[in-house]
Amino acid sequence: MRLFGLPRDFVLFVIAATLYAFSQSAVTAVFNNFLNETYSIGNFQRGLLELPREMPGFLVVFVSALLYLMSSRRLAALANLVGGLGIAGVALFSSHYGVMVAWLFLFSVGQHLFMPLIQSITMEFAAEGQAGRRLGQVTGASNLAGIGGSLLILVGFRSLGFGFATAFLIAAGGLLLAALLIRTMKADPPPATRTRFVMRREYKLYYWLSILYGTRKQIFLTFSPWVLVTIFKQPTQTVASLLFAGGLIGIVFNPLLGRAIDRLGERFILMGEAVVLIFVCFGYGFSRRLFGENTALLVAGACFILDQLLMSVGMARATYLKKIAVQPGDVSQTLMMGVSIDHLFSIFVASLGGIIWMRWGYEYVFLLGVAIACVNLVSASRVRLPR
């Protein structure tokens, strides 16, 4: 059966992925202000919170191993169900900080379990040599949904009297609906060669690139919105506006990026990401030293949007893995392993970043990001594909 000229299951999955992106955008837009205004935590405690928030990312390969007999699509439905229940708990039962952390952990389990499945399931619907194009389409649609999430938060907090609980419940509704849509897709049988764990020496460069991605990603996910909230004193609407702008640009940027991956190759794209990231980290960390307050805020906002777009370069790592995979059944499990590895190091970097901020200032957190980007540039230059 086909819808809009596309396979029915692909259309359902795209809608589910966009609902997930909508919910993630809504949570991201309010989360740092929620922490600051509800619990008044400090910079070091903000970095320390990443331990329970990102630990599910490290555990995802073990969770998927326990559920290895479950098909990818059923696992994706379960992930969204768990994530939806978790963020609903944050909305309704977070009067105490410790209770909120427990619900946040549950939300994060679903979030991190679904992230690699988006890429692996999307590539199931791609023709040979067009995995980047298909990933670009899904990521572009997700950006459109992200715009909707950030725009709803922007309008809701400005004009509709939204509170944090309202935003989280809307996000929960999106995740639960995504779970329902994926559950109605035809179940794909687990590959006959599927194992609980996949760890091959042929994938060592992919694992290393995942580590570098995890460390640099965590610097921006944790500390860039925290800089806006605590250094530039910006309200929830500012973060939502930046997410809206990044999503708007991403509608065009991500499909073009997907095609560029297919045409120019993963090595070129990954090296280009590293070069841009060097300037992004330096600009975000040192704009207040180089410019006046208003100009510095504009530079920081531009860097925030650029890094938001660079997150989509993860498509290139996924297509690189697909091309070097020893067995087709390795792709999903290795993507899970990549998430676990990158989170093992991102948890460490989040805590380290909190210590660096406390002792020397936030500028040096982003200087660490510059160093990581330089290592990433050298590592990406070593990407080679089989003939």
List the beta bridge partners of residue 3: 6
Percent of the chain having pLDDT more than 90?
19
In this predicted structure, the answer to whether residue 367 has a pLDDT above a threshold of 70 is yes
Mean local confidence (pLDDT), 216-233: 81
In this predicted structure, the answer to whether residue 288 has a pLDDT above a threshold of 90 is no
In this predicted structure, the answer to whether residue 81 has a pLDDT above a threshold of 90 is yes
What CATH number did the domain enclosing 223 receive?
A: 1.20.1250.20
pLDDT for residue 318: 83
Question: Both tokens of residue 349?
Answer: 């970097």
> DSSP secondary-structure letter at 127?
P
> What is d(CA 323, CA 203) in angstroms, rounded to the nearest whole number?
11
In this predicted structure, the answer to whether residue 196 has a pLDDT above a threshold of 60 is no
Residue 233, domain member (yes or no)? yes
Q: Which carries the bigger pLDDT value, residue 105 or residue 159?
A: 105
Residue 387, domain member (yes or no)? no
| Predicted confidence (pLDDT) per residue in 22-76, tens digit | 998 888 888 878 888 888 777 667 766 777 777 777 777 677 766 666 778 888 8
> DSSP secondary-structure letter at 146?
H
Q: Which span out of 98-102, 116-120, 323-327 was modeled with the highest average pLDDT?
A: 98-102
- C-alpha distances (whole Å) from 173 to each of 127, 145, 226, 245, 376 are 33, 14, 26, 24, 38
Residue 190, domain member (yes or no)? no
* Position 292, amino acid: G
> What is d(CA 350, CA 261) in angstroms, rounded to the nearest whole number?
30
> What is d(CA 271, CA 119) in angstroms, rounded to the nearest whole number?
21
pLDDT for residue 162: 82
Q: What are phi and psi of 6, to 5 degrees?
A: -120, 155
Q: Which carries the bigger pLDDT value, residue 377 or residue 226?
A: 377
pLDDT for residue 82: 93
Contacts of 178 (CB under 8 A, 6+ apart): 15, 16, 17, 19, 20, 23, 80, 84
pLDDT for residue 69: 66
Residue 32, domain member (yes or no)? yes
| Predicted confidence (pLDDT) per residue in 103-116, tens digit | 999 998 888 888 88
Q: What is the mean pLDDT of the chain?
A: 82
Closest CA to 65 of 340, 343, 346: 340
pLDDT for residue 182: 92
Residue 386, domain member (yes or no)? no
Q: Do 26 and 149 touch, CB atoms closer than 8 A?
A: yes
Residue 87, domain member (yes or no)? yes
pLDDT for residue 2: 53
pTM: 0.70
> Which letter, b or e, does each residue of 328-354 get, where b requires 16 or more Cβ atoms within 10 Å of its Cβ?
ebbbbbbbbbbbbbbbbbbbbbbbbbb
In this predicted structure, the answer to whether residue 271 has a pLDDT above a threshold of 50 is yes
pLDDT for residue 193: 47
Q: Which carries the bigger pLDDT value, residue 260 or residue 255?
A: 260
Contacts of 155 (CB under 8 A, 6+ apart): none
pLDDT for residue 198: 66
The secondary structure of 214-263 as a DSSP string is HHHHHIIIIIHHHHHHHTS---HHHHHHHHHHHHHHHHHHHHHHHHHHHH
Domain encompassing residue 369: 2-185+199-380
Mean local confidence (pLDDT), 74-88: 92
> What is d(CA 346, CA 353) in angstroms, rounded to the nearest whole number?
10
| Predicted confidence (pLDDT) per residue in 226-257, tens digit | 888 888 888 767 877 887 788 788 878 878 88
Contacts of 105 (CB under 8 A, 6+ apart): 52, 53, 55, 56, 86
Residue 192, domain member (yes or no)? no
pLDDT for residue 191: 53
Residue 287, domain member (yes or no)? yes
Mean local confidence (pLDDT), 139-147: 79
- The lowest-confidence range among 54-58, 115-119, 209-213, 276-280 is 54-58
> What is d(CA 331, CA 318) in angstroms, rounded to the nearest whole number?
8
pLDDT for residue 107: 92
| Predicted confidence (pLDDT) per residue in 293-317, tens digit | 889 889 988 988 998 888 888 888 8
pLDDT for residue 358: 85
Q: Do 16 and 81 touch, CB atoms closer than 8 A?
A: no
Long-range Cβ contact pairs of 367-372 (< 8 A, separation 24 or more):
367/281, 367/282, 367/285, 368/219, 369/216, 369/219, 369/220, 369/277, 369/281, 369/284, 369/285, 370/278, 370/281, 370/282, 370/285, 372/212, 372/215, 372/216, 372/219
- The lowest-confidence range among 39-48, 118-127, 192-201 is 192-201
- Per the structure, the count of domains in the chain is 1
> What is d(CA 298, CA 140) in angstroms, rounded to the nearest whole number?
25
If you compute the radius of gyration of the chain from its CA atoms, what whole number of angstroms results? Answer: 20
Is 50 strand, coil or helix? helix
Question: Both tokens of residue 36?
Answer: 């600051």
